[in-house]
A = this chain, B = another copy of it.
Amino acid sequence: MNPLLIEDAVRRALAEDLGDAGDITTLACIPASALSSAVIAARASGVIAGVELARAAFRLVDPRVEVAVEKDDGARVQRGDIALRIEGPSRAILTAERAALNFLGHLSGVATATATLVEAVKGTKAKIVCTRKTTPGLRAFEKHAVRCGGGANHRFGLYDAMMIKDNHIVAAGGITRAMTAARAAAGHLVKIEIEVDGLDGLKEALAAGAEVVLLDNMPVEDMKKAVALNAGRAVLEASGNVTLQTVRAIAETGVDVISSGAITHSAPALDLGLDFL
């Protein structure tokens, strides 16, 4: 991940929470000189992600706040485990608390959802990857959280790889023509993936020399046939209807990659709380 993105994102979150008037309750009730120690602890089990964003929230509100990391990004936590220890001016800790927890809870939620799928396919060769179905404004961080959870990244956007979908195929006049058009336009460091919805499509894609093929919403039986037909030539990605219930069966077809939008767009936040000591 590009670490230079962190400060902007955290400033935006703090601006949202502090507005013009700031933390008016804390300014009214807590003396400026008060110092506190606190911890951020897990209230459920999961995988941590977003520690650097949480740290930045405290630091940006007051550089005197010290944050010690007990559980870094990628670490598994159980209910009660302490992730971060925080020390410094009480006002700053209270003011930054929610922004820090909102990042940490959301991204740890993504990491945890990913880890659950990764666990489910253990022993197969399938990698769990995310999609572009991310929360607007947080893609770089969610892509990072997916890696913290043991998953891998699909392309980051429309710009870093080609993905030829059904509409591109129709507009270009078929799979072969679309592959040709894409290859002519792509630089020598751009990978091209093509989406097919059946075995005929796969055959045509392979004949056109496809390196990566997305099997779109295919029944598990067809995926097995696709793996056999492919015989190791292209990287095969399974997409559609991927849930904790279905993912093992999909992985066992022998596909290389299984993509899930839900691990980014529908992951519940991991429950984490800040407690003063």
Tell me how far the C-beta of A245 lies from the nearest C-beta in chain B, rounded to whole angstroms. 15
Quick check: B189 and A9 within 8 Å, CB to CB?
A: no
A14 CA / B5 CA spacing, docked (Å): 10
| Residues of chain B contacted by A169 (CB below 8 angstroms) | 29
Tell me how far the C-beta of A158 lies from the nearest C-beta in chain B, rounded to whole angstroms. 4
Spot the interface stretch: A78-86, A99-107, A114-122, A220-228.
A99-107
Quick check: B172 and A189 within 8 Å, CB to CB?
A: no
| Residues of chain B contacted by A202 (CB below 8 angstroms) | none
State whether A30 and B171 are in contact (beta carbons under 8 Å apart), knowing that A137-B9, A156-B159, A158-B18 are contacts in the complex. Answer: yes
Quick check: A19 and B22 within 8 Å, CB to CB?
A: no
Nearest B-chain residue to A27, judged by Cβ:
B185
A262 at the interface (CB under 8 A from B): yes
Quick check: B140 and A138 within 8 Å, CB to CB?
A: no
| Residues of chain B contacted by A75 (CB below 8 angstroms) | none
Quick check: B157 and A18 within 8 Å, CB to CB?
A: yes
A203 at the interface (CB under 8 A from B): no
A188 CA / B102 CA spacing, docked (Å): 23
State whether A16 and B139 are in contact (beta carbons under 8 Å apart), knowing that A159-B22, A187-B152 are contacts in the complex. Answer: yes
Quick check: B13 and A136 within 8 Å, CB to CB?
A: yes
Between A15, A164, A178, the greatest number of chain B beta carbons within 10 A of the residue's beta carbon is seen for A15
Residues of chain A at the chain B interface (Cβ within 8 Å):
1-5, 9-31, 34, 36, 60-61, 90, 94-95, 98-99, 101-103, 105-106, 109, 127, 129, 132-140, 143, 152-165, 167-172, 178, 181-182, 184-191, 193, 212, 235, 237, 256-257, 261-262, 265-266, 268-269, 276
